Amino acid sequence: MAFQITIEDTGEQFACSETKHVLAGMQQLGKKGIPVGCRSGGCGVCKVQVLSGEYTSKKMSRDHVSSEEESGGVVLACRVFPASDMTLSVIGHLRKAVTR
């Protein structure tokens, strides 16, 4: 099943299945709204805040996402999988990538 992901910063939307991490879903459609780095949770470049929606996640590096941040919806897009439609805000250090 595919879910609708909205990047609040740009208004861009893309579909992502529950079997793909959010970053892969975005990349598959050629979107440039979320910064891309290592794609495995080690660099922290794809840091986003989930504003609404449900997701499952894999382990994230505490160098980039503290347990407090994670409990507040701050995650790495390459480590989360949608379980519903989601709205995200980009907070990674390459935020300039989302400006139009």
Q: Residue 2, SS3?
A: strand
Pairwise pLDDT comparison (47 vs 35), residue with the higher score:
47
Between 65 and 95, the higher pLDDT residue: 65
Q: Determine what percent of the chain is predicted with pLDDT higher than 90.
A: 57
Phi/psi class of residue 44: alpha, beta or left (left: φ > 0; alpha: ψ in -120 to 50)?
left
Tens digit of each residue's pLDDT (9 = 90 or more) over 52-91: 999 999 988 888 899 999 999 999 999 999 999 999 999 8
Residue 58 CB coordination number (10 Å): 13
- Distance between CA 5 and CA 48 in Å, rounded? 12
Mean of pLDDT values over 36-40 = 82
